[in-house]
Structure 1
Amino acid sequence: MMRMHRNLVFAVWDGLDQIFNENAYADKVVEKLLRRDKRWGSRDRGFIAETVYDMVRYRRLYAEIAGVSAPYSRQDLGRMFAVWAILRGHTLPDWKEFAGTPERRIKGRFDALQESRAVRESVPDWLDALGAESLGEAVWDRELRALNQQAEVVLRVNRLKASPEQVRESLSEAGFETAPISGYPDALRLLERANVFGSEAFRSGWFEIQDASSQRVAPLLAPEPGMRVIDTCAGAGGKSLHLAALMENKGQILALDIYANKLRELKKRAKRAGAFNIETRPIESSKTLKRLAGSADRVLIDAPCSGLGVLRRNPDAKWKLRPEFVEELTRTQAELLNSYSQLLKPGGKLVYATCSILPGENEQQVARFLDSGAGQAFRLEEEHRILACESGFDGFYLALLNHTG
């Protein structure tokens, strides 16, 4: 059990203030916090990152037990921290901020609140109701529990530059132990959480950080060297880089996105990875798509979604989501399927993927497309709903469609 230091605890409170009260993104806040003091070692940084994420994950539960509500004052954050510490078995330091903390009452409140799933698993009531309605009570119960676990760090080996064995050996020499994951040929899991970005293997482009579920997307598309593949919502390019490796750098990957800044990041990552067959193109108007109609052997639509499948790594997302935003997303997804499917040649393959677990964004979305005019030329070959409670990895959905026209 680590001894608590004021500068570390207060850094946690500063981070929570920004995340809870200013609606800042947890990952960006933590990244900045960890650079605050050069004297902090890996254990110190680990305490800050893991405590912030755990308190974001269980924000509703800790706030209810502490008897506080948003916006949270410094004193409120201190009370929530005390709840976290007691429930995690830590001894509170003898500071004035923690004087009179009612340990027995905290444990009693925790037990009493176990009856309410929305409070116990710390989600908004509307999201709890939507999940239960969409997946059924029993599955949603298990999935929500799984999505509140800390995500493992999974690497994807970049076979353009290295083999899994070479990456394992290089990281081991640098003090990072990894293990392969059965059924995921390019994946390695870190046996202990660590920052591997400073390693020689990462700087040399030998691997990327990519969850195992996400690593199933590019292989399902079955791209072959020499093909033209369009990644329509490429973002910073995790899937484009995987496609480049599967295509052995032969052929063309056209990475499209409406956000040019994300594509600039993709260019940097592609250079490090030695992926030379990726061309980035911002979508500036409908003309960009018209010029590409019927030109692709493969199309990937990694659609914008609620992100409910990746709450393990983005726990603050559940507090940023709104019911109307989920409805808006489903309309956007339908539009993207309709327009981007037209980029495919007859005989080509399309993968529609989301990191959501809601059927409304997934199976139902694909079924609606197949019933539409644009979907008449397509046939569903296979679909996969990946749940965190079953796979141990992120929640995901993948559908493979064939253009039969």
Structure 2
Amino acid sequence: MNERELVLDALLAITRDGEYSHIVLKNMLDLYQYLDKQKRAFITRVVNGTLERQIEIDYIISRFSSVKIQKMKPVIRTILRFGVYQLKYMDSVPDSAVCNEAVKLAEKRGFRGLKGFVNGVLRNVSRNLDHISYPGKEDPVSYLSVKESLPEWLVKLWLESYDVETIEKMGEAFLMPEALTVRFDPGKITRDALILRLAKEGVEARKIPGVPCGLYLSGIDYLGALPSFQEGLFQVQDISSMQVALLADPKKGDQVLDVCAAPGGKALHMAELLQGTGHVEARDLSGQKVELIRENIARSGLTNIEAVCHDATLPDPDWKEKADILIADLPCSGLGVLGRKPDLKLRMTPGSAEELAGLQRRILGVVKDYVKPGGKLLYSTCTIHKKENEENARWFVEQFPEYTLIQEEQRLPGRDVGDGFYIAMFRKE
């Protein structure tokens, strides 16, 4: 199969079959490692770009198609979507090639009778791209939804807390290409030594201002093939996520429990900061997720951390008042990581975000018992949703007065570096 067929299959798996974009892409690129770097980069860019811009793309298609988007066959709809993405956002691909390849793909997938439709829509879009009328700022919901490719329900939700300019900056940040951020242990290798090592492996590494344990990486084809990654010299972790362990500031000998740890970034960071002392237990719900944590522990070489399978909603009397630090980075709507997981905005609903806020409260009501008097509980999410963040923090201190909120932070893309992220630190009296 050529790269456009792989793009089609990946997008169908995500938008039609409900699979997660980061998993689909990882599995596909693992399977097709023999493809050259340029083709693998094309697949990644077109899949992610089409998902990121899908709401705007559908708006454009609707201007040139007599058939409504949702009435189209999934294969045809998907071919049109990534065709429009290439026409609007990839100058390196000639418009004629985009149209011709889309027609060939429609025929190859059994839709010979719709070749003319595909050709007509894409050529019409190509001729008129510079003349499309977009919603204006007088209608902020439609304006932000189409311009930044955000669902209208999400724009309305954010307008309750932020102004149009802030949401616009967030939307633009989500649509910007993201460098890979990694965390390293300065006690294991210095920043300059790691930058030099990565350069020898063909990877460009840049310092992150204000984050001495982090680097931006670019020029990577396949992360798993890098010897420095295999040797555990760094872990993939977003800048915002790194703040949890830095804020927790563990002391040597501390007992740490991370109740929803996969893939293990925060737990591993805590173990590093403990400098070989104390102990970190990294838990998660499924055996598959726990195995992923174990793989990362094995690669890191750390010995003061273990992974355990446990459901965070179920009480564990063995941990009652034993944790100096408890990390509750809980399941959330993920509205802060739309730049890395663009399909989330297409699958999340207001109802599912509400349900997650309830699940977070259930878990907090259980894990609060594990913290020692004088210990810390860090609650974090990778979302921008007051019900899951600030409102849950207020609820927690009202319900459990033995806890005091001592610090909280909502990080916003476009204003702060890194993912959209919320952290609240509580101390148990």
Do the structures match in fold with TM over 0.5? Answer: yes
Q: Quick one: structure 1 residues 25 and 284, their matched pair in 2 at CA, closer, same or farther if it must change by over 3 Å?
A: closer
Cα distance between partner residues in 2 of 1:243 and 1:37: 35
Deviations 1:219-269 (A, max 9, x none): 111112211111111122111111110001211112222223211211121
Cα distance between partner residues in 2 of 1:61 and 1:128: 14
Quote the residue 1:79 is aligned against: 80
Residue number among 389, 398, 408 corresponding to 1:362 in the alignment? 389
Residue number among 139, 155, 160 corresponding to 2:182 in the alignment? 155
Cα distance between partner residues in 2 of 1:193 and 1:231: 30
- Preserved contact between residue 325 and residue 371 of structure 2 (Cα < 8 Å): yes
Moved more, 200-209 or 116-125: 116-125
- The alignment covers a number of residue pairs equal to 396
Cα distance between partner residues in 1 of 2:317 and 2:189: 38
Root mean square deviation of aligned Cα: 2.1
Residue number among 236, 245, 269 corresponding to 1:218 in the alignment? 245
Cα distance between partner residues in 2 of 1:402 and 1:222: 13
* AA aligned opposite 1:92: D
Deviations 1:300-338 (A, max 9, x none): 111111111111000001111121111111111112222
Deviations 1:171-218 (A, max 9, x none): 111111111111111101114454333111111110011111111111
Q: Does 1:350 align with 2:377?
A: yes
Q: Does 1:30 align with 2:25?
A: yes
Residue number among 265, 269, 289 corresponding to 1:262 in the alignment? 289
Cα distance between partner residues in 2 of 1:114 and 1:11: 36
- Shift of residue 33, structure 1, vs aligned partner: 2.9
Quote the residue 1:187 is aligned against: 214
* AA aligned opposite 1:104: R
Counterpart mapping for 1:3-402 below 5 A? 7-35=2-30, 37=32, 39-67=34-62, 68-70=68-70, 72-88=73-89, 89=91, 90-94=93-97, 95=100, 97=103, 99-100=119-120, 101-102=123-124, 103-109=126-132, 111-113=133-135, 116-159=143-186, 161-192=188-219, 194-283=221-310, 289-372=316-399, 374=400, 376-402=401-427
Cα distance between partner residues in 2 of 1:285 and 1:314: 24
Cα distance between partner residues in 1 of 2:416 and 2:428: 30
* AA aligned opposite 1:77: T
Cα distance between partner residues in 2 of 1:261 and 1:30: 18
* AA aligned opposite 2:94: T
Q: Quick one: structure 1 residues 284 and 333, their matched pair in 2 at CA, closer, same or farther if it must change by over 3 Å?
A: closer
- Preserved contact between residue 226 and residue 251 of structure 1 (Cα < 8 Å): yes
Structure 1, unaligned stretches of length 5 or more? 1-5
Structure 2, unaligned stretches of length 5 or more? 63-67, 104-117, 138-142
**TM-score (structure 1 length as normaliser):** 0.91
Cα distance between partner residues in 1 of 2:311 and 2:19: 28
Cα distance between partner residues in 2 of 1:18 and 1:285: 30
* AA aligned opposite 1:33: M
Moved more, 302-311 or 156-165: 156-165
* AA aligned opposite 1:91: P
Cα distance between partner residues in 2 of 1:36 and 1:114: 44
- Preserved contact between residue 82 and residue 92 of structure 1 (Cα < 8 Å): no
Cα distance between partner residues in 2 of 1:287 and 1:58: 40
- Shift of residue 402, structure 1, vs aligned partner: 1.2
- Shift of residue 37, structure 1, vs aligned partner: 4.4
Q: Percentage identity across aligned positions?
A: 28
